[in-house]
Amino acid sequence: MATHALDTLPLRSGQMQMQSADVGDLTPDQLRDLYRMLANVRQLDRDAVAWQRQGLIPGYAPMLGQEAAQVGAGFGVDKTRDFIFPTYREMGVAYTVGVNMVEYMSTHKAIWHGGLYDPGATHFAPFQAVVGGSVLHAVGWAHGQTLNGQTLNGTAVVTGGAASVSTTGLGVGLAFLGDGASSQGDVHEAMNFAAILKAPVVFFVQNNGWAISVPTEQQVAGGSVAARAAGYGMPAVQVDGNDVLAVLDATRRAVAHARAGLGPVVVEAMTYRRGPHSTSDDPGRYRTLEDEKTDGGEDPLNRFRAVLLADNVADSAFFAVADADAQARADEIRDGVVALESRPGSEMFDFVFQESTPTLGAQARQWREESEHV
C-alpha cells in the first residue's frame, strides 16, 4: 500500500540544493544559530563518549551522524505549547529546545532517572530506555488535551468526540522512535489509537539503519516505516535526515497538520548511526569501517556548512569561532556533570504517584529503617 503524503507536506528529493531557496523563511541569524546547535551537539556527543571511557558516566547512547535529524526536528516545534517525548538518544533535541545539559546528563551519570530538569517547564519528557514506550505517552498526552477541553496554553477547544479541534491550534506531541522501535507492539497500539482519536501527534522516526546490530532491511517489512502509516489511515513523509533544512521543513509542516486537528503524522528521517548503539556496543561485530563510510552518506555538518558558504551566510572565520565555542561549552557541561552529587535515596518514593499509597508508604518506612536507621 502506498504512503499517503500530506497535501501541505510535499516530499523532498533529499538532494542538497545550493540555492537560497533551500533556506526557506529563515533569517541569516537563524541559519547561523542552526549551525551553532549542530556544532554544539556534535562536540557534546563526542565528549560524552569520552566521559564514559574515562569513567565519568557509566553509559551513553551516541547520536553521531543524526545531528541534522535531531536539531531540525527540535527547531521545528513550538516550545511554549508542544511537548516532546524522547528516547534515550535525543540529546540533540534536548539541547535544541533549551534543556539544561548538566541536568539532562544526570541520568547518564546514574544519579537520577529521567533527568534533573523540569519536564513541565521544558516540555521535554523524561527520557527512558523502554523501547517504544515514549510513543504511548505522547498519544496519551495529546488526547488528554481534548479530554480536558483545552490546549496546553489554555485556549478552549471545541469538543466533538475524536474530531475535537481548536480554532487557535492544539499543542502537538512529538514522539521520537527509531526504526527498530517501530517493530514493537507498543508502537502499533500508539499509532492505531492516535489515528482513531485524531490525536495531535507527530511520530518522528529516526531511521538510522540499525536496530542495535540488525539492519533495517532485516526487521522493517517493506523497507520503510513511513509506508506503514497508510495502514493506520494517517499521512506520512520520508525525508533526508542528513539535511537539517529538509528535516526542519518536514517537521514544521507535520506539526501544523496535527495542530489543525487533522490527526497524527509519521515523519521518517533517513539518516545513519555512525557510531555504536551505545558505549557498551561493538559495531565492529556486525559492520566494517568501510561499511560506515559507504553507507553513512554525507556528513550533516559538512553538508550544512556548504549551504551556508554557498549562500554567503557564513565564512570560515564564523565556523572557526562556532567550533571553538562548541568545545568550550562542552567543557563547561563536563565540569557541571563532575560536580553532580548523589541524590537522597528517599527520593525514589517521592515521585511514583501523585498521592502516595499505603504499600508505597510501608516500603519507604522500611527503606529508611534499613538504610538510614530511623
Given a contact cutoff of 8 angstroms between Cβ atoms, the answer to whether 31 and 308 are in contact is yes
CB-count exposure of residue 296 (10 Å: 0-12, 13-18, 19+): middle
pLDDT at 15: 27
pLDDT at 160: 39
Write the pLDDT tens digit of every residue in 250-286: 999 999 999 998 999 999 999 989 988 899 988 888 8
Residue with cell 533556506: 23
Given a contact cutoff of 8 angstroms between Cβ atoms, the answer to whether 145 and 152 are in contact is yes
- Report yes or no on whether pTM surpasses 0.95: no
pLDDT band at 10 (very low <50, low <70, confident <90, very high): very low
DSSP 8-state code for residue 298: S
Domain spans of the chain, in order of start: 20-343, 348-374
Q: Is the model's pLDDT at 239 over the cut of 80?
A: yes
Q: Coil, strand, or helix at residue 240? A: strand
pLDDT at 23: 63
Q: Is the model's pLDDT at 79 over the cut of 50?
A: yes
**What's the mean pLDDT in 316-329?**
97
pLDDT at 213: 86
Average pLDDT across the chain, whole number: 86
Write the pLDDT tens digit of every residue in 14-67: 322 223 335 678 999 999 999 999 999 999 999 999 999 999 999 999 999 999
pLDDT band at 289 (very low <50, low <70, confident <90, very high): confident
**What's the mean pLDDT in 299-328?**
96
Given a contact cutoff of 8 angstroms between Cβ atoms, the answer to whether 22 and 245 are in contact is yes
Longest dimension (CA), the chain: 69
Q: Is the model's pLDDT at 151 over the cut of 60?
A: no
Q: Residue 333: what residue type?
A: I
pLDDT band at 294 (very low <50, low <70, confident <90, very high): confident
**Range of weakest confidence among 82-91, 160-169, 223-232, 242-251:** 160-169
Return the H-helix or E-strand segment holding 103. Answer: helix 101-105
Q: Which CATH class is domain 20-343?
A: alpha beta
Q: Which of 211, 272, 202, 261 is nearest to 237 (CA)?
A: 202
pLDDT at 22: 56
Given a contact cutoff of 8 angstroms between Cβ atoms, the answer to whether 111 and 347 are in contact is no
pLDDT at 265: 97
Q: Coil, strand, or helix at residue 241? A: coil
All three cell numbers of 60, joined, read 551513553
Residue 72 CB neighbour total at 10 angstroms? 32
Q: Is the model's pLDDT at 359 over the cut of 90?
A: yes
